[in-house]
Amino acid sequence: METSDKKLTVVLGASPNPSRYSYLAVSMLQKHGHPIVAIGNREGNIEGQEIIKEHPNVANVDTVTLYMNPTLQASYYDYILQLHPRRIIFNPGTENPELKELAIRNGIQPQEACTLVLLSTGQY
């Protein structure tokens, strides 16, 4: 893959628990060479990728992939919108009509999909 194929991804809801889908997503994103900012409700790491609790100002974000339920997402709306990602992936269980509408109004493509499937099938 060329460098231009790499998509800076913010993983919201990252968990250091290996049985969580967010853990698998961070791991698989790393294996595919995508740069990652992993944000969770507690610090830790996933195969060397640091999980932070802060909301850093990150430029050139391609994708925000969600691993938190819609109730928890509300406190992240402003942060997600100020990142100006190209798209937001709503993984199964994270679907949120309110955030989807906010994304559309801000020129961000909402996508209800599974990050793991997109990576596995070369559609990421």
pLDDT at residue number 4:
57
Domain residue spans of the chain: 3-120
Per-residue pLDDT of 21-73, as tens digits, reads 999 999 999 999 999 999 999 999 999 999 999 999 999 999 999 999 999 99
Q: What is the pLDDT of residue 3?
A: 46
Handedness of CA 112, 74, 36, 44 (dihedral sign): negative
Overall CATH class of domain 3-120: alpha beta
Tell me the three state secondary structure of residue 38. strand
Spatial neighbors of 52 by CB under 8 A, at least 6 apart, are 37, 38, 39, 40, 43
Q: For 81-116, how does the pLDDT look when each residue is reduced to its tens digit (9 = 90+)?
A: 999 999 999 999 999 999 999 999 999 999 999 999
Q: What is the pTM of this model?
A: 0.95
Assess contact for 38 and 14: CB atoms under 8 A: yes
Average pLDDT, the chain: 95
Asked whether residue 2 carries a pLDDT value surpassing 90, the answer given is no
